[in-house]
Amino acid sequence: MRELIVDNYVITTPLIDIIRNVQGQLTNGKLSTIEEKGDEIVIPCPVHKDGHESHPSASVYCGDGDLPYGVWNCFTCGSKGMFWDFIGACFDKSGEWGRRWLITNYGEAYSESTLDIPKIEIKEETKLKYDESVLDQFESYHPYMTKRGLTDEIITKFDLRYDPLTKSIVFPVRDLKGNIIFLMKRSTEGKKFYIDKDADKSIPYLLYNIVKDNIKEVVVCEGQFDALKSWTFGKPAIALIGAGTSKEQMATLNKLDVVHYILMYDGDDAGRKGAERFKKFINKRCFVDDIIMPPGRDVGSLTKEEFDNLVYNSL
């Protein structure tokens, strides 16, 4: 039986039962009919015609195939989204409201027995260059980290360091087993970057944490500070180390069990091209939201309110 993952909660109740429960609570006339047809639950679209269609034109996917479990779309108006977006639309609310409703009514917190870390093998053997002791040579904190909006929890969680020799923040990049495979550094006095010449850039920054925690919804950013800032705002994220979106990175991502990507590339031409390349090469079973960043902005420059407005008003 498939499960619906919402943030750090798992929902095991069949989607058809949830939809029928919603139908019983609605007072707006939506969901007048509900019908199971193979791998889909066919319902009236909750968006157009105020949800009062004479012939249902929308469906929620509940099968075991490649499509994200719970994804919904309307074949008439083109509305689509994840299951929580559908729930929100039924109640004339936002997708974020629908997410909270699902967690409140059906969510079960993960336990160790629930976690299912995908067995992913990118290479038969990874030649390790570092062990954890490499971080001991650096300082554990620099005010620039706080200046960039990072909390003590995030600084500690992701093992950030400061290198006084190069006057830069140190970001350890880990493979999918948690081993440090290379270090990236970013100057605190400018935009100069330092990276190992032979660094394996096929592993996006913070991807290890996504796999370890079996996270299904991921924000995709360009830079390390952007991804870290997203985590401080409550949205797990990865950084592709620039807008290039290489084939190697996409090959890695296409081996994951992530079902929903939220693209938050920088607000420039390079960011737009990177986002388009991502959408072109990502598995079609994944649902992708492409958020257009304001010109000249990136996630690292956003306030919590700006971030939430962009994410929740776009989904």
Average pLDDT over residues 43-71: 88
Tell me the per-residue pLDDT of 174-201, one tens digit each, with 9 for 90 and over.
999 999 999 999 999 877 888 877 778 8
Please say if the pLDDT value at position 45 is more than 90.
yes
What share of the chain in percent tops pLDDT 90? 58
Please say if the pLDDT value at position 115 is more than 80.
no
Tell me the per-residue pLDDT of 134-169, one tens digit each, with 9 for 90 and over.
999 999 999 999 999 999 999 999 999 999 988 999
* Confidence tier at 315 by pLDDT (50, 70, 90): low
pTM summary value: 0.64
Give me the residues paired with residue 80 across strands: 73
Please say if the pLDDT value at position 236 is more than 60.
yes
Question: What burial class does residue 30 get, using C-beta atoms within 10 Å of its C-beta: 0-12 exposed, 13-18 middle, 19+ buried?
Answer: buried
H or E element, residue 217: strand 217-221
DSSP state of 297: -
* Confidence tier at 256 by pLDDT (50, 70, 90): very high
More confident residue, 121 or 260: 260
Amino acid identity at 157: K
The full set of domains in the chain, from first to last, is 4-109 (3.90.580), 132-314 (3.40.1360.10)
Please say if the pLDDT value at position 121 is more than 50.
no
pLDDT score for 50: 85
CA dist., res. 249 & res. 227, Å (int): 16
27-36, 52-61, 83-92, 128-137: least confident range: 128-137
* Residue 167 contacts residue 189 (beta carbons within 8 Å): yes
Average pLDDT over residues 5-22: 86
The phi, psi pair for 259, rounded to 5°, reads -110, -15
The phi, psi pair for 10, rounded to 5°, reads -115, 140
> SS3 of 228, please?
helix
CA dist., res. 22 & res. 18, Å (int): 6
Residues near 154 by beta carbon (within 8 Å), at least 6 away in sequence: 160, 228, 231, 232
Residues near 312 by beta carbon (within 8 Å), at least 6 away in sequence: 94, 95, 96
More confident residue, 282 or 109: 282
Average predicted confidence (pLDDT) for the chain: 87
Give me the residues paired with residue 61 across strands: 40
* Confidence tier at 242 by pLDDT (50, 70, 90): low
Average pLDDT over residues 77-85: 90
Exposure of 222 in the CB half-sphere (CA atoms within 13 A): 21
Query: Token match 């498939």: residue?
Result: 2
Token representation of residue 15: 């989607």
Residues near 212 by beta carbon (within 8 Å), at least 6 away in sequence: 117, 178
Give all strands of the β-sheet with 180-187 in edge-to-edge order.
161-163, 168-174, 180-187, 193-195
- The answer for 120, left when phi > 0, alpha when psi is -120 to 50, beta otherwise, is beta
How far separated are the first and last CA of the chain, in Å rounded?
27
pLDDT score for 243: 63
